[in-house]
Structure 1
Amino acid sequence: MKKNLLLCFDAFGTIFTPRQAIFEQYGEAARRFGLSGFMDEQVASSFKQAFKDESKKNPNYGRATGLGATAWWTNIINKTFQPLLPPNQAIPKGLAPALIHRFSSSEGYLMFPDAYRYLKKRSEAEQKGEKGDARTVVGVITNSDDRVPDVLSSLGLNVHHLRYGDPAEKCSDVAHTQCQTADIDFVIMSYDVGFEKPHRKIFDAATDMLENMLSAEGVAKPALDDWTLLYVGDEPEKDAKGALDAGWDAILVDRDAQYGSVAEQRPEISIIKDFDGLDQLRDRYPGI
């Protein structure tokens, strides 16, 4: 049994979820700015088309063409509402910034209570030395733009600022105590990597980050031979099967009990109802 554990989680749908349907939040925000004459269902349809068009024109949330995520989402929001308004009605300039801010924070999302309990309990045990000499590094791997760390922080988690492409630091070089108290040690976003799950390269980015962290801590030749790689997510294809294909172990969070057939097709995937079920896997993954 390998001694150490690299434990990574999906974000959207696994750790947090929208407070209400995204199209409903869009409609609500638009009405606050004085827009009217549309149904939320129309917003949903228009948003879907705007997202598809903008993704084709400016891939990877605008990173691929140099547009950037803020301008990319501004385009999405404007393209969502423009078809729903009379020709002479302009979209208020404050609408896009308000929605972008909302979905950067707890205003737009809420954390699953079981996820919060687990992540806080796990990091507290690590800080107290209750995990013994085994090491667990906790990360997030997500298909997303660069707002995920802000969302996680807003929801009450202590998130280290490390993301793909950043140099790792020795904790002694960091002016604050984030190294010792982080609930999340790093965040890997497709926005930074340029590849989305289930592509292997986004999982490889996480192991690269681990090796960089170990090097910064003084490990001369970091090796992953003594590390179990474990990924926890809520989508069978992108998360569980993507992780397996990248050489990781996989846990599928099945909150709505809809993935029973996955266990039959891929018995190597562990399925749990929520984060409380992680305790049941401690014999197999001691560092969990």
Structure 2
Amino acid sequence: MSRTAIRLVLFDAFDTLITPRLPIHVQYAQEAHKHGLPESSITPASVRAAFKPAFRKTTERFPQWGRHAQPKPMSPSEWWMVCIEETMRLAGAEQGKLDQVMPRLGKALLDRFESAEGYRAFADVIPCCESANGRYGDPYEAHELAYKRPVTYLQQAGVKTGLVSNADDRILKTLGALGITPLLTHGTTISQVAGYEKPDPRIFQTACRSAGIERCEEGVLMVGDEVEADYHGALRAGLEARLIRRPGEFSDGAKRRSEDEEREMLHRDGVCVIRSLEEVVDEVRERNRQS
């Protein structure tokens, strides 16, 4: 393992920093019932079966969140309205009734997933990223206290932080609502704006440049939950990478194999796995103290 000091830590968003409060298909079904679609036709199971095909169809019809749609580009909210309607249609909604409720239902779902109602931050996120400027005079003064609590802070150690996500700009509202955006010292790099998706090396390189780092291979660490998009994508871009696997916590749409299958695959490929973001902080403290 490299012992270069870590200057920048980049995080994935979904299932790394944040996760749905309830499975997405459950939340979609809840809002559908609130807005008049009957429970007899729209169920969590029917929404779950419909969501991925609807997402795939909307993506094929309007790639890159509709940024090249004709005759004019779509906003992410417009793109999601199309996806939500297609999800409900495939889930069993009657078209006439769907036409009546979609303006209200679509807005309700957009609002829900831009807020703390739809998502929550993992318990180790704020302690990992939060600024403690002024709390301790020296970055390592709280060493013993940090390990007892344990609360350590990347910003306190002078490490830049940022985000790289295959998402549209609505995620900025979600991160803001959860108090995460101010903790990312060098902002967010999202695929809708960058024009590239992980695992494309260019999106990681864009994030590094945003943090003032031209050579990504020197002291940059990517933390994410998807093996190909986050881990191998970062390695191909020249970054170091850590794959996070919190025990038992990941959302319904996360790309995961069975536990036994994945354990064997990760071991075979030499993937560096961490169990919480506190391990990132531990590594930063150790490496940056020694450098």
Q: What is the TM-score normalised by the length of structure 1? A: 0.79
* Aligned residues of 1:4 and 1:134 also touching (Cα < 8 A): no
Q: 1:51-200 maps to which residues of 2 (within 5 A)?
A: 51-65=55-69, 66-83=73-90, 84-89=92-97, 90-92=99-101, 93-120=103-130, 123-124=131-132, 130-131=138-139, 135-159=158-182, 182-200=183-201
Alignment partners' CA distance in 2, 1:210 and 1:126: 23
How far has the Cα of 1:135 moved from its partner? Answer: 3.9
1:5 shift after superposition: 0.8
User: Could you say what secondary structure the match of 1:113 adopts?
Assistant: coil
Q: Distance in 1 between matches of 2:239 and 2:216?
A: 13
Please give the alpha-carbon distance, in whole angstroms, between the structure 2 residues aligned to 1:195 and 1:139.
17
- CA gap of 1:142–1:223, structure 2 versus 1, over 3 A, is closer
Q: Which residue does the alignment assign to 1:20? A: 22
Amino acid at match of 2:65: Y
**What SS does structure 1 have at the residue aligned with 2:163?**
strand
CA distance in 1, matches of 2:211, 2:229: 21
Note if contact 1:2-1:226 (Cα within 8 Å) is conserved in structure 2: no
In structure 1, stretches of 5+ residues that fail to align are: 160-181, 212-221
CA distance in 2, matches of 1:34, 1:101: 18
1:158 and 1:183 in contact (8 A); partners too: yes
Distance 1:280 1:72 in 2: 41
Distance 1:127 1:91, change over 3 A: farther
- Which whole-Å CA distance do the structure 1 matches of 2:63 and 2:7 have between them? 33
Aligned residues between the structures: 252
Q: Partner amino acid for 1:51?
A: F
> What is the alpha-carbon distance in structure 1 between the residues aligned to residue 104 and residue 217 of structure 2?
51
Partner of 1:124, secondary structure, is coil
Inter-CA distance 124–134: structure 2 relative to 1 (3 Å threshold): closer
Query: Whole-Å Cα distance in 2 between the matches of residues 109 and 210 of structure 1?
Result: 27
Check 1:4–1:235 CA distance in 2 against 1; reply closer, same or farther (3 A cut): closer
Secondary structure at the residue paired with 1:88?
helix
Report the 3-state secondary structure (helix = DSSP H, G, I; strand = E; otherwise coil) of the residue aligned with 2:124: helix
Query: In 1, Cα distance between the equivalents of 2:133 and 2:19?
Result: 26
Pairwise CA RMSD:
2.5
Match in the other structure for 1:215: none
Aligned residue for 2:228, secondary structure, equals: helix
Structure 1 residues 282 and 134, CA, compared in 2 at 3 Å: closer, same or farther?
Answer: closer
Q: SS of the residue aligned with 1:94?
A: helix
**Residue deviations 1:50-103 (CA, integer Å, cap 9, x gap):** 111110010111123211211100001111223422343234121111101111
Determine whether 1:29 maps to 2:44: no
SS at structure 2 position matched to 1:27: helix
Listed as ranges, the gaps of 5+ residues in structure 2 are 141-155, 249-258
The answer to whether the 8 Å contact 2:208/2:216 transfers is no
Secondary structure at the aligned position of 1:139 is classed as: strand
Mapped partners of 1:270, 1:284: distance in 2:
17
Report the Cα distance in structure 1 between the residues aligned to 2:132 and 2:218, rounded to whole angstroms: 21
Does residue 235 (structure 1) correspond to residue 260 (structure 2)? The answer is no
Deviation string 1:10-59 (CA, Å, 9 cap, x unpaired) is 00000010011111100100110111132221112222221111100101
